[in-house]
Amino acid sequence: MKKSILAAGLISLSAGVNIQAADVQQGHELVETNCVRCHGSEIYTRPDRRVTSLPGLHKQVRFCEQMLGLTWFDEDVDNTATYLNQEYYKFE
């Protein structure tokens, strides 16, 4: 009986959790506003690109954000990395 009450409570709790998806359009706008100051899209498509994984892409976006002296929130980095992955990298 106690286990079923606990399970019901966990199910109702998890149903209330809203996972926010990345905003690809905002990521696109951030790339157009900031990233193209240093390079064009060829950096994302060149054969010898440094980024080889999704975690590596997030790390590179954060590095570039810091090098440009921007003050992005984590969601800005996520949005930008998601846009770049969807548009160019196609990591799973």
User: Taking the domains of the chain in order of start, what are their residue ranges?
Assistant: 21-89
pLDDT for the residue numbered 83 = 98
Structure tokens at 79: 């949005």
What's the CA angle centered on 42, arms 40 and 44, to 5 degrees?
100
pLDDT for the residue numbered 75 = 97
What pLDDT, in 10s, does the model give residues 39-92?
999 999 999 999 999 999 999 999 999 999 999 999 999 999 999 999 999 999
Architecture of domain 21-89: Orthogonal Bundle (1.10)
Q: Where are the alpha helices (DSSP H) in the chain?
A: 2-15, 24-34, 42-45, 54-67, 74-84
Rounded Cα gap, residues 25 and 27, in angstroms = 5
Rounded Cα gap, residues 82 and 30, in angstroms = 11
What pLDDT band is residue 37 in, cutting at 50, 70 and 90?
confident
- Residue 1: Cβ-neighbour burial (10 angstroms; 0-12, 13-18, 19+): exposed
pLDDT for the residue numbered 21 = 84
